[in-house]
Amino acid sequence: MRTTLFCIALLCGAMLAAMSVQEKRGEDLFLRRCSGCHALDLNKEGPRLRGVYGRKAAAVPDFVYSVALEKLDLRWDEASLDRWLSNPDAMAPDTDMGFWLVDREDRKAVISYLKSLGK
């Protein structure tokens, strides 16, 4: 019984460590690839992104969004953020965001980082 509990605790610790590595990688990618247009707590060319996970699209009240993005009726979650980051124009044609992350693992890491930030 002790051995089983120890193994479970060890596995949980390894999973948490892996999540932390992915979030750290996402933070690094965010700083290198996204921070030219986005900040966490300030609007820049793009809206502030702290709390984006779970937020309704085009919902930062003091940011002017493209008409295409305002028409989206969704909340940002893993699936919608993944689609958005892979090709914004496919989700909202004529959106102002002209950047995407081609690599799926890069998108996963950035989404994990954004999700970890909370509100």
Q: Indicate the SS3 state at residue 56.
A: strand
Burial of 68 per CB tally in 10 Å (0-12, 13-18, 19+): middle
Asked whether the beta carbons of 38 and 117 are under 8 A apart, the reply is no
pLDDT band at 65 (very low <50, low <70, confident <90, very high): very high
pLDDT higher than 70, residue 64: yes
Calculate what percentage of the chain has a pLDDT beyond 70. 83
- Average the pLDDT over 99-108 and give the result: 96
Return the CATH number of the domain spanning residue range 2-116. Answer: 1.10.760.10
- 119 or 28, greater pLDDT: 28
Domain edges within the chain:
2-116
- Convert the pLDDT of each residue in 17-48 to its tens digit: 555 899 999 999 999 999 999 999 999 999 99
Backbone angles phi, psi at 89, to 5 degrees: -65, -25
Is-above-0.75 flag for pTM? yes
| Tokens of residue 83, six digits | 């689609």
CB-based contacts of 45, cutoff 8 Å, min separation 6: 36, 37, 38
pLDDT at residue 3 in the model: 63
pLDDT band at 12 (very low <50, low <70, confident <90, very high): very low
